[in-house]
């Protein structure tokens, strides 16, 4: 498949726009960890964001955002006194969805203290 020069210029321009972005974690939070909203906020198509993310991180936007959300979850749990508040701050509608995702990522429940040797940042 051959890419037309106009399309190549368009792709290069989009990557240039995305390369200039410095505050990806903040944009992820503002987009509610949604790839579609993130692409819209960046002024690119979802497909352009997908190509860029895979090129830069080796992960799809969905994978990167899920990981970013879990990193933010650790910080939220340090600040918040209850799981419900942390889950709400991270955009979860139900605390049990937050707990399920947290345990799947980190290997322990968010209500428990981190086990010794856990890969928690």
Residue 53 belongs to what domain range? 5-61
pLDDT score at 34: 96
Task: Give CA–CA dist 67/57, Å, rounded.
Answer: 12
74 & 95 share domain: yes
56 & 80 share domain: no
Are 17 and 42 a contacting pair, CB within 8 Å? yes
The answer to whether residue 120 is domain-embedded is no
End-to-end CA distance of the chain: 43
The per-residue pLDDT for range 63-99, each reduced to its tens digit, is 999 999 999 999 999 998 889 999 999 999 999 999 9
Q: Tell me the percentage of the chain whose pLDDT exceeds 90.
A: 66
Task: Give CA–CA dist 37/93, Å, rounded.
Answer: 18
16 & 41 share domain: yes
45 & 75 share domain: no
E-strand stretches of the chain: none
State the pLDDT confidence band at 1, using cuts at 50, 70 and 90: very low
The per-residue pLDDT for range 41-52, each reduced to its tens digit, is 999 999 999 999
13 & 42 share domain: yes
Supply the pTM of this predicted model.
Answer: 0.80
Count: domains in the chain: 2
């Amino acid at each position: 498949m051959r890419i037309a020069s106009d399309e190549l210029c368009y792709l290069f321009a989009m990557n240039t726009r995305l390369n200039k972005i410095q505050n990806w974690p903040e944009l992820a939070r503002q987009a509610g960890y949604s790839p579609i909203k993130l692409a819209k906020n960046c002024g690119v198509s979802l497909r352009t964001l997908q190509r860029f993310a895979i090129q830069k991180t080796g992960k799809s936007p969905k994978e990167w955002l899920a990981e970013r959300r879990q990193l933010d979850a650790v910080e939220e749990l340090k600040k918040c006194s209850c799981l419900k508040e942390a889950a709400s701050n991270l955009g979860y509608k139900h605390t049990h969805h937050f707990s399920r995702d947290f345990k799947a990522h980190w290997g322990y429940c968010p209500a428990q203290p981190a086990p010794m040797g856990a890969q928690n940042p």
